[in-house]
Amino acid sequence: MKIIFCGLILVVMSMIPSIMLGAGITGADILEVPIGVRPTALGGAYSALGDDVYIIDYNPAGLVRIDSPSIGLDNLQSFAGIDTQSISLAIPTETYGTFGAQIIYRGVPTIENLLATDPAVQAYDSVVIIGDGYRLGGIDVGVNIKNIFSELANEHAFTTAFDFGIALRVLGFRLATSVQNVGPGVRFEPGPNITDPLPLTYRLGIGRPLITNLSSSLLVAVELVQIFDQGFQESVGIEYWRQRFIALRMGYRNDPNNLDNGFSLGAAIRHNFGIFECEFGYAWHPASVIQGFTVNSNTFGILIWL
Average pLDDT on 150-159 reads 88
- Tell me, what's the pLDDT at 112? 65
Q: How confident is the model at residue 79 (pLDDT cuts 50, 70, 90)?
A: confident
Q: Which element (helix H / strand E) includes 19?
A: helix 16-20
Sign for the pseudo-dihedral over CA of 64, 65, 66, 68: positive
Rounded to two decimals, the pTM is: 0.86
DSSP 83-104: EEEEEEEEEE-SSS-EEEEEEE
Q: How confident is the model at residue 116 (pLDDT cuts 50, 70, 90)?
A: low
Please give the mean pLDDT across all residues of the chain. 86
Q: Which of 24-28, 200-204, 233-237 has the lowest mean pLDDT?
A: 24-28
* Whether the predicted pLDDT of 158 surpasses 60: yes
**Residue 251 lies in domain:** 2-305
Domain count, the chain: 1
Contact in structure between 198 and 215 (CB atoms under 8 Å): no
Cross-strand pairs, 277:
272, 305
Of 7 and 264, more confident: 264
* Whether the predicted pLDDT of 161 surpasses 50: yes
Q: Is 7 helix (H, G, I), strand (E, B) or coil?
A: helix
Q: CA angle at residue 165 from 164 to 169, to 5 degrees? A: 165
How far, in whole angstroms, is CA 31 from its chain's centroid? 8
Q: Supply the CATH number for residue 48's domain.
A: 2.40.160.60
Cross-strand pairs, 182:
162
* Whether the predicted pLDDT of 285 surpasses 50: yes
CA distances 206 to 10, 39, 263, Å, are: 12, 14, 19
- Tell me, what's the pLDDT at 244? 86
**Tens digit of each residue's pLDDT (9 = 90 or more) over 134-151:** 999 889 999 999 999 998
Q: Which of 22-36, 50-64, 201-215, 261-275 has the lowest mean pLDDT?
A: 22-36
- Please state, for a pLDDT cut of 70, what percent of the chain lies above it: 85
Average pLDDT on 210-228 reads 92
